[in-house]
Structure 1
Amino acid sequence: MSNKDLQAIFHGLDVGTVLFNEPLSKHTTWKIGGPADVFVIPSKTEHLQLLAKTCAENKVPWYVIGRGSNLLVRDGGLRGVVIKLADNFADISISGDQLTVQAGRSYVSAANTAIRSGLQGLEFATGIPGTVGGAVMMNAGAHGGETKDVLLSADIVEEDGSIRTLQNRDLQFAYRYSILKDQPRIVVRVTFQLQPGSTEEMQAKVRAWTKRRQTTQPLQLPNCGSVFRNPEGTHAGFLIEQAGLKGTKIGGAQISDLHANFIVNVQKARAVDVLALIDLVQTTIRERNGITLIPEVRIVGED
């Protein structure tokens, strides 16, 4: 479908803020990515329902992004519609031991709200830079904890615009996986089942983790978080470092010399630079260790 046709469909549609040919480099933590044909910032669930229904009726592909972490958009950009759920979808509430959060809220913010409220279980999320919705889609985890451990249910918008509540078991969680990776739907809100805990003890644990991250991860440079999944029994960063690839640079992208499982944007990097480094790492580790490293980062768009 041509750009002109898309503009005819979505211009004036009551789905929130609608932009055309919006550079996705403005919406990813890597500061990389070509334009989206249609870029939508909805403000209520009804907007999401109408978007899903309109896309389905017109056979328009769509993608949901949050804060743009764990995402590499190729230099040619994304065809169709990109839906952004971030501060525009960030309500949060507590009822007893349950925390209910809209999908666009920062996972770090949701975890810190739980901690301040004396609710235990989400401490692991204080170092995960994405949104709650993204965390559910990929079963994000850290420090031995995963989203599946605390998620009770998720409200999602189906492709026909209807709303459905999925329970934990329905999401078929596995390592960095949920069924939402294979059956695209829009996460609207999530409910976590937590437990009472000591705010002081949880904050002390988080401070220690934060201090370690600040000394071992390149947080000052644009990055997407960890690029590769950890293979069973070892760590991707360890394998990459042992292969002598720390500091390797292609174009404006570089394998961090601080943490080898991070690729940083050091000088106006393009997606093609990052993809070349990913390929180099995979080829090297496969030849050296007989292990195929699988990207954790979601790679989308056209060259």
Structure 2
Amino acid sequence: MIDLKDCGRFFENEELKKYTSFKIGGPAKYVLFPKNEESLIEAIKRARKDELEILILGNGSNVLCADEGYDGLVIILKSAFTKLDINDNKIIAGAGLSLRELANAALDKNLSGLEFAHGIPGSVGGGAIMNAGAYGSEMKNVVSSVKILDEDLNVKVLSNEEMDFSYRHSIAQDKNYIILEVEFSLNKDKSKEEIKNLMDDLWQRRLSKQPLEYPSAGSTFRRPEGHFVGQMVDEAGLRGLRHGGAMVSDKHSGFIINKDKATAKDVRELIEIVQKVIFDKFSVKLQREVKYIGGEYGNSCNNRDEWSR
């Protein structure tokens, strides 16, 4: 039994579906919203002493939590880690701030470069870890440095180059770093009207093409080189395919949605069905973008795709 009430808002047997964009997930043994950086470090120290598994979540937008829940401590950064400092063309943002809030703050100061991030349903920390991107841009184009907590609980600042950004990847994934803050270097090359018009245009494109009316984890699969996932899924006749409460979206075939009280098992099995059909038809192996957590997957938010033909 661990008590972290002095470290922030602390819950026992808390349903994770309350904190994920998929609206799926059983109870976590413990959930903590730390008050600050010091509370975060102290909570991790105590959890390690008690040999508890630890999972860090931001906006919970790229994960599928197991129906069995999570037998450990889930630390959620989105309430306290919301720092926002703007100086000239630089923005320092806390890991728990949403990308939408960040983009709107840049707009307020006539700073361009983050328009692409306006509609991404994640946090600053998650965006940096995953090198989130859309509509021709990505985080590596605007991030100047990242403040992280390493596995030895040392606070460090990494440059853009040291983050080793690539497609949906950064060194933070490989090293299990926790993102604390991100500094962005933006531009002053557009008027506020131009920035807003681009943000509105990208948002309308998302609304028209993506199933935002249903819970999901965003794009389910990584983009295979030389192929478009949605096009292959369509050609394979899988658009609208249902499995339990999960469904391949009939609005955008690259999304698997929580159509009707889906379980994590429903979603995992539907992902495997899609992967097998696409491999059999196109000899293309689709890799998950969504990360599995809890149950047999333990504390890893960086697990690789276990599917094989």
Whether the TM-score (by the shorter chain) exceeds 0.5 is yes
Aligned partner (choices 42, 53, 57) of residue 65 of structure 1: 57
Aligned runs of 1:26-45 on 2, under 5 Å? 26-45=18-37
1:142 has 2:134 as partner:
yes
Secondary structure at the counterpart of residue 119 of structure 1: coil
* Alignment partner of 1:217 is 2:201: no
Q: 2:236 aligns with which of 243, 252, 264?
A: 243
Distance of 2:129 and 2:295 partners within structure 1: 22
Q: Contact between 2:33 and 2:79, CA under 8 Å: does it hold in 1? A: no
Take 1:237 and 1:14, find their aligned partners in 2: how far apart are those partners? 47
Select the residue among 111, 127, 139 that pairs with 2:119.
127
In the TM superposition, what is the alpha-carbon distance from 1:136 to its structure 2 partner?
0.7
Once superposed, what is the RMSD of the aligned Cα atoms? 1.3
- Deviation of 1:276 (Å): 0.8
Aligned pairs for 1:63-212 (under 5 A) are 63-196=55-188, 197-212=190-205
Paired position in structure 2 for 1:3: none
CA distance in 1, matches of 2:45, 2:79: 23
What amino acid maps onto 1:166 in structure 2?
A: L
Q: Does structure 1 retain, via aligned residues, the 8 Å contact 2:95–2:126?
A: yes
Q: How much has 1:12 moved relative to structure 2?
A: 4.5
Deviation at residue 14 of structure 1 after TM alignment: 2.5
Partner of 2:260: 267
Matched letter for residue 176 of structure 1: R
1:50 corresponds to: 42
Whole-Å Cα distance in 2 between the matches of residues 208 and 228 of structure 1? 24
Deviations 1:82-141 (A, max 9, x none): 110113321211011101100001011101211221111111101210000000111100
Distance 1:191 1:203 in 2: 22
Q: Cα distance, 1:162 vs. partner?
A: 2.5
String of CA shifts for 1:207-243, please: whole Å, max 9, x gaps: 1111121111111111111100111122211111111
The alpha carbon displacement at 1:15 in A equals: 1.5
2:213 is paired with a residue of what secondary structure?
A: coil
Amino acid at match of 1:110: L
Q: Count residues with an aligned counterpart.
A: 295
> What is the identity, as a one-letter code, of the residue corresponding to 2:37?
T
TM-score with structure 1 setting the length: 0.94
One-letter code aligned to 1:267: D
Tell me the SS of whatever aligns to 1:169. coil
Q: CA deviation at 1:277?
A: 0.8
SS of the residue aligned with 2:292? Answer: strand
1:21 paired residue number: 13
- Determine which of 209, 225, 230 is the counterpart of 1:232: 225
Gaps of 5+ in 2: 297-309
Is the Cα contact below 8 Å between 2:4 and 2:43 reproduced in 1? no
Structure 1 residues not aligned, in runs of 5+: 1-6
Q: Secondary structure at 1:215's aligned position in 2?
A: helix
Alpha carbons 1:48, 1:161 under 8 Å: kept: no
| DSSP-derived class of the 1:233 partner | coil
Distance 1:130 1:64 in 2: 14
Corresponding residue to 1:280 among 273, 284, 291 = 273
**For 1:192 and 1:51, how far apart are their aligned partners in 2?**
28
Contact 2:93–2:124 under 8 Å retained in 1? yes
Determine helix, strand or coil for the equivalent of 2:52.
Answer: coil
Instruction: Write the distance in 1 (CA, Å) between the matches of 2:9 and 2:200.
Output: 38
**Which residue does the alignment assign to 2:289?**
296
